[in-house]
Structure 1
Amino acid sequence: MIRRFAAREEEFREARGNYTYHQIVKVQELSPDGDLLGTYHMEEDVIFTPSGQRIEKVVYAPVSTLRRIGLTPEDERDLRNVQPFVLTSAELPKYDIKYQGRQKVDELNTYVFMVTPKVMEKGQRYFQGMIWVEENDYQIVKTYGKAVPDIRSKGQENLFPRFETYRQQVDGKYWFPTWTNADDTLYFSSGPQRIRMLIRYEDYKQFRSATKITYGDEVPGPKPAP
């Protein structure tokens, strides 16, 4: 069963690489009472150039008002690879995967698995938590867990929230991530900090071209408003 859904996840990853979409990322600092203290907000379009190169174009990025936290390179990697977690055949050897039983997610019948990294190599990012796999399509439809490891070394603290990601079916075939939500308290040495994170993936459209698809770096968008 595990090898079967991992193979389907590989198909999903390749399919999603042929779609454009709009991505919205919001990270908020909150007081212990839930009052908003600061916000990071970025929107970008994942699109293709006329030559078939897949790029990320920032379309909205006001100045961040976060005070105690900021987005690090690890956060950016997690936004791309951990929050929209994909467990392909190539990734299977990195994880211990234990079947937990069956459960309904909304109207879907799913198999539930616990996923834990076997070894965390320096500089690598991993997912740790639970995944829900739809029983007919053998694709992940829900994820709950966190990016690991937390980083505490040489005066550096980089902690990561627990999150939940849901997928929805696109074009009647593949289950693509549509939103991620986190509302968690991070326990820094200087004190606890509650944060809220929301990621939305919208307007999926398949890219149709005879041109070979390539992948490039992010294209700078408009500069943040003062």
Structure 2
Amino acid sequence: MLLRGIVLLSLAAMDGAWLPAQDAPQGPLAPPPEHHVTRVGNVAEPEAPPSLPETEIIKHFSEKEDEYILSRTRYTYRKTIRIQEFGPDGQPSGEFVLVTQPGRDADGKLFEKVVERPRSTLPHLFLRSEDIEGLQRIPAFPLTSNQLAKYDLKYLGKEQVDEIDCYIFQAKPKMVERVRAYFDGNVWVDVKYLEVVKTYGKWVTDQGDMHPVADLPFSLFETYRENVDGKYWFPNYSRSDGTLNLKGQEIPVRLVIKWTDFKPVQGAPQAAVPPAPATTAKP
């Protein structure tokens, strides 16, 4: 892979389903200090049913997702993508950093523009623009109301996330396709306000797990959200860990995406309904 100048990154397919790009292996790392990471495995039966009907909880949080996906288009923010390699001592040995922010072209179409020149000190990896573009195709809000019919949702139990009591739901796609990837994982829903505050999972097709960064082993993403302006829960931190095998050498790698500095855009257009998910894959 060759490092090339990155000018514009498309903001395509930000809801519903992900259009796949590349594939690679996967492996774990210890959690970073930003968040305490917990894993929820397959649970045969929940400890106790939720206080509200499951269908009511699901309907409420999916409608909130519809609201958030529209509202986020009316905000600007700073997005920092960081890919790190780790040495035998467990410390970072180099990193690639790219900083973008959302913008609109002359036709009003959303895109991501680079605001800081990408820099890399990675000792083994070289990245090109196509490798990073796959990250833009990961939907930020996977379980919008127009996607619910494509999933089986199962209540797993309760857990706290950053001191917030949450219901946990497992989402499994009813069917998998070749040209479209679906979310396979868990969502944490605030018990009081019925809003998604965290997701953990991967995107799958009939070919298996998807990897948004070409040739790198990132498939499972743990994503936390931040309450913005007291109204919206937007993603603010996402992480994926893996192990790269280069000529017999196992190299731990980590991808972290941070969204910061959320600010409303004055005069941003108001959308009436959530955008429909794309139906065809990029070549």
Q: Which has the higher contact order (CA 8 A, sep 6+)?
A: 2
Find 1:14's aligned residue among 52, 67, 70: 70
SS of the residue aligned with 1:137?
A: coil
Report the counterpart of residue 81 of structure 1 in structure 2.
Answer: 138
Tell me by how many angstroms 1:76 deviates: 3.1
Q: What is the TM-score of this pair, normalised by structure 1? A: 0.76
SS of the residue aligned with 1:91?
A: helix
Report the counterpart of residue 136 of structure 1 in structure 2.
Answer: 192
Find 1:145's aligned residue among 201, 204, 209: 201
Find 2:81's aligned residue among 21, 25, 41: 25
Unmatched tracts of structure 2, length 5 or more: 1-56, 276-283
Find 1:175's aligned residue among 212, 233, 238: 233
Tell me the alpha carbon deviations over residues 204-223 of structure 1, each in whole angstroms, 9 at most, x when there is no partner. 1112317577x9xxxxxxxx
Unmatched tracts of structure 1, length 5 or more: 216-226
Q: How does 1:29-108 map to 2 (within 5 A)?
A: 29-48=85-104, 54-66=110-122, 67-68=124-125, 70=127, 73=130, 76-82=133-139, 84-108=140-164
SS of the residue aligned with 1:196?
A: strand
- Percentage identity across paired residues of the two chains: 38
8 Å Cα contact 2:65-2:141 kept in structure 1: no
Tell me the alpha carbon deviations over residues 58-105 of structure 1, each in whole angstroms, 9 at most, x when there is no partner. 0113344443474785763444424x3431011212322111012221
Please give the alpha-carbon distance, in whole angstroms, between the structure 1 residues aligned to 2:69 and 2:230. Answer: 16
Q: Which has the higher strand share?
A: 1
Amino acid at match of 2:180: Q
Report the counterpart of residue 2 of structure 1 in structure 2.
Answer: 58
Find 1:164's aligned residue among 214, 222, 227: 222
SS of the residue aligned with 2:145?
A: coil
Please give the alpha-carbon distance, in whole angstroms, between the structure 1 residues aligned to 2:93 and 2:110. Answer: 35
Tell me by how many angstroms 1:115 deviates: 1.6
Tell me by how many angstroms 1:51 deviates: 7.9
Alpha-carbon spacing, 1:151–1:136, altered in 2? closer, same or farther (3 Å): closer
Amino acid at match of 1:199: I
Q: What is the TM-score of this pair, normalised by structure 2? A: 0.63
8 Å Cα contact 1:28-1:36 kept in structure 2: yes
Tell me by how many angstroms 1:151 deviates: 5.8
Alpha-carbon spacing, 1:27–1:157, altered in 2? closer, same or farther (3 Å): closer
Please give the alpha-carbon distance, in whole angstroms, between the structure 2 residues aligned to 1:211 and 1:22. Answer: 20
Amino acid at match of 2:58: I
Alpha-carbon spacing, 1:74–1:124, altered in 2? closer, same or farther (3 Å): farther
Tell me the alpha carbon deviations over residues 31-75 of structure 1, each in whole angstroms, 9 at most, x when there is no partner. 354243442210011135698554322011334444347478576
Report the counterpart of residue 30 of structure 2 in structure 1.
Answer: none
Report the counterpart of residue 111 of structure 1 in structure 2.
Answer: 167
- Count residues in correspondence: 210
